Chains A and B, each alone.
Chain A
Amino acid sequence: MLQGWVIVLASFLYLGVLFAIAWYADRRADLGRSLIANPVVYALSLGVYCTTWTFYGSVGRAAASGIGFLPIYLGPTLLFALAGFILHKMIRVAKTNRITSIADFVASRYGKSQVLGGLVTVIAVVGVVPYIALQLKAVSNSFSILASYPDIVMPATAGAVPLFYDSALYVAMILAAFTILFGTRHLDATERHEGMVAAIAVESVVKLVAFLAVGVFVVWGMHDGVADIFAQAAAVPDVARRLATADSPAAYGTWGTLIFLSMFASLLLPRQFQIAVVENVDESHLRRAVWMFPLYLFLINLFVLPVALAGMLHFPAGTVDADTFVLTLPMAHQQEALTLLVYIGGLSAATGMVIVETIALSTMVCNDLVMPLLLRLPMLGLAARADLSGLLLEIRRWAIAVILGLGYLYFRVAGEAYALVSIGLISFAAVAQFAPAVIGGLFWKGGTRDGALTGLAAGFVVWAYTLLLPSFAKSGWLPDGFIAHGLFGIELLRPQHLFGLTGLDEITHCLVWSLLANLGTYIGVSLQRVPNVREARQATLFVGGAEAAGTPGWRSTAGVADLLPLAGRFLGLARAKEAFARHAQQRGLKGIHELPADARLVGFAEALLAGAIGSASARVMVASVVKEEPLGLDEVMNILDEASQVRAYTRELEQKSKELTRATAELREANARLRELDRMKDDFISTVTHELRTPLTSIRAFSEMLQEDPKIDLAQRSRFVGIIVSETVRLSRLINQILDLAKLESGRAEWTVAAVDVAEVIREAAESLTVLFAEKHVTLEFAGCEPGLTVLADRDRLMQVLVNLLSNALKFVPAGTGRVTVDAGGTASEVRVSVVDNGPGIQAQDREVIFDKFHQGATTSDVLTDKPQGTGLGLPISRQIIEYFNGRLWAESTPGAGARFVFTLPRQAGDNGAIPQGDSVPAGGRGYKEESPGGNS
């Protein structure tokens, strides 16, 4: 039954069904009733991870290393446990930035760098080609084996078969044609392929069912359950070895390496990125996938080890390739239907991988490699061409063909030297090179384009040298001398023992060196400079997540008239119109014609184009239509920077302005004060001058008269000389007092502070003035001047105050009837001294003025017409002294009823004196007057 034509027919039927599913899903999507908007479909489509490597290769791997096939599935399980941190973020970022591929992702992250996108594309293509070869090998092998049914014959090595008899070639061609039909029927703005996803989900079910069917058949059809297989295996020493994973630390190392590697592969392989990130319809679907995808992996691996063991028990060692056990075990038991199902399952695993992988790669090749180059070649005049959508599809179709061609080439060149899994691991190691740039780019803002470029390049070169080239060499396509002896015969450069590193398997060895070089240069070079504004902006978008996403920075605007044709050129006019109409609808407008020519529209058009031709190229194209230079990101950043700087500056200015206003007010006030001080100083100097010149005038006049007129009679002469002497004394006193006051005011006066008995000082001061009082016949009386009124003061200064006040009183009292009373008393806290006279008194408005310098109350007080002798500095000096000792000095007076000068000083602590009995002086002057009657006679 299983003739060749049956197999071929079944294959095409299967492909036809797939195509129908895809077509139907696309149709449904166009109608807005998506088939794939379903978390289960999303989880199943992620099963594209399981290729023929899994379907056929795992059993082969298990036959070779027991449980060693498993880490490839444990890694993705662990990765999905981290989905909340990594995958979720990637989906968000990709959606916000209209990312269409892993190359686009990396390019966009590091400032929309076309060079970076190109490099990622090259690495992806070169790295994944062996993986595609693996699929070709598996499918062509399964076909060949099946074709010789019921005999089980291992296929000849690929190199031994003439090209046109090589089924792998036809498989490659058919797959290319199918993929082209499948994936490049039209361009879509989002680069999403609903039909493809639906088909892939179905394929995942098919391969799982097929594998589980084989497992059930092997375990329960051929044996009595799993335990039976293990029991049988344990009896055969050769097989029993497979039951344990490892017998050396290196094996554990390899185990860990594979987990690590597969973790990244399930995220960074172009097809994984395509399905998990780009084709994700709704990020909430990820939640279901978190456990459903690992569960899928678990189920498809459930029977791997039993099948491998059964195969080893069933087939004599070396007769059947373990990679084919899945197929050959049912064949050996003439299970035709099951065999066909297994074949279809294998085919689905292969087609799923090839379709998604080549579509993803062709998008990258087109958007990130070919289009940027073509757009840069002015001779092609592409930028001016009316419709480029056809060209884009053409490029992608060719890219698919070329990639599959390369896969076939690798299969012919190197495919036979390795088992399926080993070929796959070469690809895994290649895409692991994306990890630093992608993961780093998601979480570290410091990465730069240069760092990503050099890191990727370094990792890629090391990968190629330690893994890819040896794979060629082992197949005999390169001289293998350099493997054994190192490049140029340098031992340290042996590709699989680089720098003398031994004891690791080749994958781990490659990974250690390539990731070291990659990560080292990525970080090292990135740290050479701070990210430029363009990188910094993208870093914010990627690291900060979707919330930080802003609108594209277009300064100028363009209308629908310009943008629609542009989009039409890449997407086809009909699709472009649809998209614009949707955009208009979203903005609440009736139609395309109502769309305003604004930056938002330009941003929309750019995003639309980014879906078709990649973000970097889209920017260039939109820029060409907008004509005016687009606002470069640098400029945007500059403007933003400036804007925020201006804002900050404005705030600062406002602050400064306020401060300035305040300072100005303070200055104005200070200036006024200064001016006032200046005026006062001026007045003071003027007054001093006046006061000094007045005695000088008399002295000079009399001296000159005496000098000129020797005939002046003696009496007159002695009178004149007397005047000269007294005026000289007055002048000296004045000068002394001025100096004294200056000292007091500047705080340079010297003080000898001690406990002073006030009564004693009063008596002493009075004694020094006894003669003057006697001359004028003025009575000087004392009241309450008991000892024990102690204050803390400078005795001489206090004496000066009392002499001042007494002589002041003496000056104003009338001769003969004058009476001056000194009264001293105190309370618990202070000592109070009053000097009372029966002179003319002081006008109310003068009571403070007299304490000003040189004021003698002269101008305003009628009673002071007779200018008394004095400098006018005594009272100000006295007040300064009293205030220095924390006391107060003031004047009280009723004009016509005498004046009363009072000062208080704080009583010294520990003063022995209680308040002197009965002599405590009330503040009021009247009570005092009653106490000392007869003063005003």
Chain B
Amino acid sequence: MSHRILIVDDEPNIVISLEYLMKKEGFEVAVATDGEAALQQASTFVPDLILLDIMMPKKSGFEVCQALRADPALAAVKIIMLTAKGRETEVTKGLALGADAYITKPFSTKDLVAQIKSLLA
């Protein structure tokens, strides 16, 4: 069974690239372009892993992460935070809020895929 991946980013081109990349790897993919849509998708689509951008309209990645972790039904969902801001505090904050990994943009596609696979293994 293929894993389900939810891509959350407000940057269309990044979404396109991630979607293409994940599909190529054989994952089932859903997309959300803002925080609220992300939470909605998370409950309906029930992904195994979420690629979560931090800087988004409506709800930031942190808020989404916090909300996800507060929902027992989604406790098993792996979360990888994606951010273009490479600040140490944000890494720490993300991890403290329950993210499983943290990847800085721009990322290496290989590393991203490897990271996803290791989390889903």
- Interface positions of A (Cβ within 8 A of B): 686, 689-702, 704-705, 708-709, 716, 720, 723, 726-727, 858-859, 862, 864-865, 867
Contact = CB atoms under 8 A, between A and B. Distances in A.
A698 B85 contact: no
B58 interface: yes
A693 B57 contact: no
A167 to B, nearest CB: 123
Contact of B108 (A692, A704, A865): A704
A859 B109 contact: no
Nearest to B20: A705
13 contacts: A686-B87, A693-B86, A697-B105, A701-B21, A701-B107, A702-B17, A704-B108, A704-B110, A705-B20, A708-B109, A723-B17, A727-B13, A867-B11
Contacts of B106: 693, 696-701
A727 B16 CA distance: 13
B86 A698 contact: no
B109 A698 contact: no
Interface in B8-49: 10-11, 13-14, 16-18, 20-21, 24, 33-34
Contact of A690 (B33, B84, B107, B109): B84
B101 interface: no
Nearest to A865: B57
B61 to A, nearest CB: 12
B55 interface: yes
Q: Is chain A's binding surface mostly helix, strand, loop or mixed?
A: helix
Contacts of B108: 700, 704
A694 B84 contact: yes
Contacts of A690: 55, 83-85
B14 A698 contact: yes
A87 to B, nearest CB: 92
- What class of interface size applies to chain B in its complex with A? 20 to 34
Interface string B84-119: 111100000000000000001111111000000000
B54 to A, nearest CB: 9
Contacts of B21: 701, 705
A134 B85 CA distance: 117
Contacts of A693: 84-86, 104-106
Nearest to B109: A704
B84 A701 contact: no
A709 B109 CA distance: 12
Interface of B: 10-11, 13-14, 16-18, 20-21, 24, 33-34, 55, 57-58, 83-87, 104-110
B10, B34, B84 interface centre (most CB from chain A within 10 Å):
B84
Contacts of A709: 24
Given A693-B105, A705-B20, A865-B57, 13 more contacts: A690-B55, A693-B85, A693-B86, A697-B14, A697-B17, A698-B14, A699-B106, A701-B18, A705-B17, A723-B16, A727-B13, A867-B10, A867-B11
B67 to A, nearest CB: 17
B86 A689 contact: yes
B81 to A, nearest CB: 14
A865 B11 contact: no
Nearest to A698: B13
A830 to B, nearest CB: 37
Contact of B11 (A689, A692, A694): A694
B118 to A, nearest CB: 19
A686 B24 CA distance: 33
Contacts of A858: 57
Contacts of B87: 686
A865 B18 CA distance: 20
A686 B57 contact: no
B5 to A, nearest CB: 15
B110 A697 contact: no
A865 B85 contact: no
Contacts of A701: 14, 17-18, 21, 106-107, 109
A704 B85 CA distance: 21
Given A699-B106, A704-B109, A867 B57 contact: yes
A698 B11 CA distance: 9
A852 to B, nearest CB: 15
B105 A696 contact: yes
Nearest to B60: A859
B16 to A, nearest CB: 7
Nearest to B12: A867
B110 A859 contact: no
A702 B10 CA distance: 17
A696 to B, nearest CB: 4
Contacts of A689: 84-86
A693 B14 CA distance: 11
B65 to A, nearest CB: 17
A734 to B, nearest CB: 12
A865 B58 contact: yes
Nearest to A701: B17
A459 to B, nearest CB: 92
A697 B84 contact: yes
B55 to A, nearest CB: 6
A690 B21 CA distance: 22
B34 to A, nearest CB: 6
A720 B110 CA distance: 18
A696 B108 CA distance: 11
A685 to B, nearest CB: 10
A723 B12 CA distance: 10
Contacts of A697: 11, 14, 17, 84, 105-107
A373 B78 CA distance: 111
Contacts of A694: 11, 14, 84, 105
A681 to B, nearest CB: 14
